[in-house]
Amino acid sequence: MPLRMTNQREIILEELKKTDQHLNADELYERVRLLVPRISLATVYRNLELLTELGIVTKLEISGRPKRYDFDVGRHDHIFCIECHRIDNIEVKCEEIAPAVLIMKGEYSITGYRLEFVGICPKCQGKRHKEKK
């Protein structure tokens, strides 16, 4: 049975699509609520889970942080700023990590991988630099 694309789902997807940020459900709810004032936070959560299950959006689970959502479901990794909690895409060439994966393979049948990078974003680095002066 195909997914019925409701007006609420379309708006949720459009809001995810038009931002380069990786929003959590609460942030997305605040944006969607401006367009659909009667929408509930529970509706946003339910739709995000459904869209994730169907592979239309990707759920990012960064160590102990609220889940964030990404409209880009293509293969890519992320980097997380430990100060402002910003998340950006980062390009990692698969062939550069393949030797490490092959060493660890053992008895596993590897079906994919997820790398988690943490650091300090350029904006926060600039703030630190100004504070030191």
Residue 3 DSSP code = P
Which domains are seen in the chain, by residue range? 1-73 (1.10.10.10), 75-133 (3.30.1490.190)
- Alpha-carbon Rg for the chain in angstroms: 18
| Strand duo 68-70 + 58-60: pairing | antiparallel
What is the reported pTM? 0.73
Q: What confidence score (pLDDT) does residue 95 get? A: 65
Distance CA 63, CA 116 (A): 9
Q: What confidence score (pLDDT) does residue 62 get? A: 76
Identify the three-state secondary structure at position 112: coil
**Per-residue pLDDT reduced to its tens digit, 49-70:** 999 999 999 998 877 778 999 9
Looking at the predicted structure, is the pLDDT value of residue 38 above 70?
A: yes
Q: Which residues contact 100 (CB under 8 A, 6 or more apart)?
A: none
Confidence of residue 1 (pLDDT cuts 50, 70, 90): very low
Highest mean pLDDT among 34-38, 66-70, 76-80: 34-38
Backbone angles phi, psi at 104, to 5 degrees: -85, -10
Distance CA 59, CA 71 (A): 9
Distance CA 103, CA 39 (A): 49
Nearest to 68, CA basis, from 21, 17, 120: 21
- With beta carbons less than 8 A apart as the criterion, state whether 25 and 67 touch: yes
